[in-house]
Amino acid sequence: MTNMPIAIRPARAADAHALAALSIQVWLTTYTEGVSDLFARYVLSEFTPEKFLALLEASDVSLRVAEVDERLAGYALVRSGVPQPLVPESDSELCTLYVQEPFTRCGVGSALLRAARASYDGLWLLVNVQNLRACRFYEKHGFVIRGSTDFVLGEGRHRNHVLATPLRD
């Protein structure tokens, strides 16, 4: 999948089903080994076409997709107006950056991140401390660790780094 043309564009309503399907696939691949009832219920309620359609209507959300050969390869979702005490200078959260597995390590994530960063003065995000691939990716893009927080799902607590773009001089 190298040297493929990657097109970045704003998401539209017709993308809603593909966004939901890709999200479920990427989330399960990234965070699970085997699908428990809890995980199944989580992805099926969290990633629905209806929720993506609502995001597209929201004025505080920016949703961009990456296409390869007119198929969805990944997306980036940023929401503004989300305060993070560890990053007082920015209230814009990169909520989701997902690339479908066959397109990883081909520059798709970087292209989506560049497009997202171009629209905001600064960004913060959460990344699971065990997601070493994503940690390396954000480190390569200059993000710095500001602290940590827990993501709670059922009985499980999952440690996340709070990362932020570097402060400007």
Ligand X SMILES: CC(C)(COP(=O)(O)OP(=O)(O)OC[C@H]1O[C@@H](n2cnc3c(N)ncnc32)[C@H](O)[C@@H]1OP(=O)(O)O)[C@@H](O)C(=O)NCCC(=O)NCCS
Sequence-separated (6 or more) residues with CB below 8 Å from residue 36: none
Instruction: Tell me which stretch binds ligand X (CB under 6 A): 36-44, 48-56, 84-92, 98-106.
Output: 98-106
Question: Does residue 127 bind ligand X (CB under 6 A)?
Answer: yes
Q: Applying CB under 6 A, does 105 fall inside the site for ligand X?
A: yes
- 45-84 mask for ligand X (x: CB under 6 A)? ----------------------------------------
41 lies in the binding site for ligand X (CB under 6 A): no
CB atoms under 10 Å from CB of 34, counted, come to 6
| Separation between Cα atoms, residue 163 and residue 166, nearest integer Å | 9
Which stretches does DSSP call E strand in 81-155? 92-99, 124-128, 144-153
109 counts as binding ligand X under rule CB under 6 A: yes
Write down the least CB distance from residue 107 to ligand X, Å. Answer: 5
- Closest to 95 (Cα-Cα) out of 126, 116, 60: 126
**Is residue 9 near ligand X by the rule CB under 6 A?**
no
- Pull the structure tokens for residue 87: 């990053």
Question: How many residues lie near ligand X (CB under 6 A)?
Answer: 20
Q: Please identify which residue in the block is written with the tokens 């001089």.
A: 169
* Interface residues toward ligand X, by CB under 6 A: 26, 30, 97-99, 104-110, 125, 127, 131, 133-134, 136-137, 140
